[in-house]
Structure 1
Amino acid sequence: MTMRILGAPQRYVQGPGAIDRLAEEVAFVSRGPAAVIVDPVAFDLLGERISKQLPEARLLAFGGECTDAEIRARAEEIGDSGIVLGIGGGKAIDMAKGAAIMCDLPVGIVPTIASNDSPTSHIAVVYTPDHAVEGVRHMKTNPAMVLVDTEIIAGAPRRFLAAGIGDAMSKPYELAGALEGGGTNFFGGTPTELTKAIVERARDILIADAEAAMKSTTPNAAFERVVEATILLSGLAFESGGLSVAHSMVRGFSVMPQLSGLLHGEMVALGTLTQLAAGQGSEAEIAELIGFFDRLGLPTSFADKDVSSDEDFQRIAEVSLGAPYASNYMRPLNAEHLVAAMRSLDRTHAL
């Protein structure tokens, strides 16, 4: 019988001004100095505060893409550090995880945007130099520490938060697909009852509070709930629940020039709609989710992104079906099914 397995970070800290607890939180989980991988935008915003908190830290450069070559280069610079910190957006976070894997060190994550649920996971997504997804790598455990400063998150462009909501909203449908298809989660186990409860709570929060959070300029109660849902709850849900067609579609979207500029969560939003249109959702459910995504500014149409040719749809479908979790679904899918699902969304959107 397959074991029930749930993974989670050792510490999760969220709130306004949390960045000023960085030294305290690092001390809880590391006995040595930190090696810090910080993206340029985050460094301009937080460089002085990071240096004040961690004066002995080794700051490592980040070139903007998380490739195998960049991971190896950063790993060689870590030296005698006791922990690797990733500060910034998703790719800086993945770079820190990749380097930590190579050096067998714990990792701490400080996201400056809430655009996806990667901060709490033990997974690093690696890209090719031309920005397509190459694959994923796995740490032995989840991050030792995740620190989320909601004042910083609130100051970021709202497109990032919308993307995080799009990523998180996939989880109820993907968990259902994984359960229906008999797939295991990212720890090789089956989802726990706690995981199922987490998924439902995240969805309830997003439906109730997402639009209010998008309008908020300060981290009020609704904003705090939505950030927690997009980072912590969604992160626990995908790793300990499992993924399905929605995230499989990201593989295909990432190889299309018309779509490659979308944020991860924006791609997942389109992927979730595709998953529902492939047979899992009713017309009313699909239309309702399209309306919700439209109000947040998330993509809901392929025609709007200049994807319309048979060749484009076929290419997306074929690449997407190569993802390891594409089979986590209510029925076996082929390229024809996915092409029909994608085309149906444009028809629904036009109504």
Structure 2
Amino acid sequence: MTMRILGAPLRYVQGPGAIDRLAEEVVIVGGGPVAVVIDPVARSLLGERILRQLPDARLMAFGGECTAAEIAARAAEAGDARLLIGVGGGKAIDTAKGAAIERGLPVAIVPTIASNDSPTSHIAVVYTPDHAVEGVRRMKTNPVLVLVDTAVIAGAPRRFLAAGIGDAMSKPYELAGALAGGGLNFFSGRPTELTQAIVSRAQEILLADSEAAMAATEPDEAFERVVEAAVLLSGLAFESGGLSIAHAMVRGLSVMPALGGLLHGEMVALGTLTQLAAGQGSAEEIRALAGFFRRIGLPTGFKAFGITAEADFRRMAEIGLAAPYAPNYYRKLDAGDLVRAMRSLDERN
């Protein structure tokens, strides 16, 4: 019998001003020396506060894309570090994870936006220099610390939070696809009952509180719940539950120049609607989810990006079907199924 497996970070800390606990938390998870992969925006926001707490930390600039070369460079620059910290957006975070894998070190994560659920995971998504997904790398364990300062998150453009909500909203449908297709999670195990409960609670929070969180000017209870759902609950859900067509489609969408400006969670929103339109969802479910996405500023079709050619839809479909979790669905799909599903989204809009 296949084991039930759930993975999670050692510690998760969230709230306004959480960054000022960094030194304390680093001691709890094992101490330094510390090397920090930090993107330029995060450095301007938090660099001085980090150095006040960790004056001997080595701050390493992130070059803008999580490529194999960038990972290797930051791994070499880390010197005698015993802990790597990733600070910033998803690609800086994944670069820190990749460097930690190369060096065999633990990693702590400090996201400055809540645009996706990567902070809690043991996975780093690696891109080619021209920004297409190349593959994933895996740490042996999840991050030892995820520290989320919601005052910093609240200061970021709301587009990032909307993307995080889009990423998280895929999880109930992808877990259902993984369970129906007999797929294993990212630990090669079956989803636990806890994972299924997490997915259900995340969906409840997102549907109830997302619009209030998007309108909030500072962290309040709705904002805190939505950030936790988008970062922690969604992160646990995808790793310990499994992915399906929604994330498989991101592979295909990421190679389209017209979609190159979309955030990961915005692509996932399109992928989720495609997954439902391929047969998993009813017309009413698709209409309701698309309406929710529109209210928080997420894309719901392809025509708005100038994508109408059959060849483009087929290319996205074929690349998506090559993803390892594409078979996690209630029935076998071919490229034609996905082309029809994608085209139908514009017909519904």
> By the TM > 0.5 criterion, same fold?
yes
- Map 1:109-120 → 2, pairs under 5 A: 109-120=109-120
The answer to whether structure 1 residue 144 and structure 2 residue 117 are counterparts is no
Identical residues among aligned pairs (%): 75
The equivalent residue for 2:73 is 73
The equivalent residue for 2:18 is 18
Q: CA RMSD in A?
A: 0.5
The equivalent residue for 2:308 is 308
The equivalent residue for 2:48 is 48
The equivalent residue for 1:32 is 32
Shift of the 50–31 alpha-carbon distance from structure 1 to 2, 3 Å rule, reads closer
- Map 1:210-225 → 2, pairs under 5 A: 210-225=210-225
Question: After superposition, what is the alpha-carbon deviation per residue over 1:100-158, rounded to whole angstroms, capped at 9, x for unaligned?
Answer: 00000000000000000000000000000000000000000000000000000000000
The answer to whether structure 1 residue 334 and structure 2 residue 329 are counterparts is no
The equivalent residue for 1:320 is 320
TM-score by length of 1: 0.99
The equivalent residue for 2:171 is 171
Return the offset for 1:18. Answer: 0.2
Q: Match for 1:201: what amino acid?
A: R
Rounded to whole Å, the distance in 2 between the matches of 1:211 and 1:61 is: 35
The answer to whether structure 1 residue 161 and structure 2 residue 161 are counterparts is yes
The answer to whether structure 1 residue 240 and structure 2 residue 235 are counterparts is no
Rounded to whole Å, the distance in 1 between the matches of 2:163 and 2:4 is: 30
Return the offset for 1:299. Answer: 0.3
Return the offset for 1:32. Answer: 2.3
Rounded to whole Å, the distance in 2 between the matches of 1:177 and 1:128 is: 28
Question: After superposition, what is the alpha-carbon deviation per residue over 1:190-229, rounded to whole angstroms, capped at 9, x for unaligned?
Answer: 0000000000000000000000000001100000000000
The equivalent residue for 1:266 is 266
Contact 2:34 2:57 in 1 (8 A): yes
The SS at the match of 2:141 is: coil
Return the offset for 1:78. Answer: 1.1
Q: Match for 1:191: what amino acid?
A: P
Question: After superposition, what is the alpha-carbon deviation per residue over 1:155-212, rounded to whole angstroms, capped at 9, x for unaligned?
Answer: 0000000000000000000000000000000000000000000000000000000000
Contact 2:26 2:32 in 1 (8 A): no
Contact 2:87 2:112 in 1 (8 A): yes
Rounded to whole Å, the distance in 1 between the matches of 2:65 and 2:197 is: 35
Residue segments in structure 1 that go unaligned for 5+ positions in a row? none
Rounded to whole Å, the distance in 1 between the matches of 2:213 and 2:103 is: 39
The SS at the match of 2:259 is: coil
Return the offset for 1:30. Answer: 2.3
Rounded to whole Å, the distance in 2 between the matches of 1:258 and 1:264 is: 14
Return the offset for 1:277. Answer: 0.1
Return the offset for 1:79. Answer: 1.4
Report the number of matched residues: 349
Rounded to whole Å, the distance in 1 between the matches of 2:83 and 2:330 is: 42
Return the offset for 1:254. Answer: 0.3
Return the offset for 1:47. Answer: 1.1
Rounded to whole Å, the distance in 2 between the matches of 1:142 and 1:254 is: 26
The equivalent residue for 1:182 is 182
Moved over 6 A (4+): none
TM-score by length of 2: 1.00
Rounded to whole Å, the distance in 2 between the matches of 1:27 and 1:77 is: 22
Rounded to whole Å, the distance in 2 between the matches of 1:74 and 1:19 is: 23
Q: Match for 2:275: what amino acid?
A: Q
The equivalent residue for 1:125 is 125
Rounded to whole Å, the distance in 2 between the matches of 1:234 and 1:80 is: 34
Residue segments in structure 2 that go unaligned for 5+ positions in a row? none
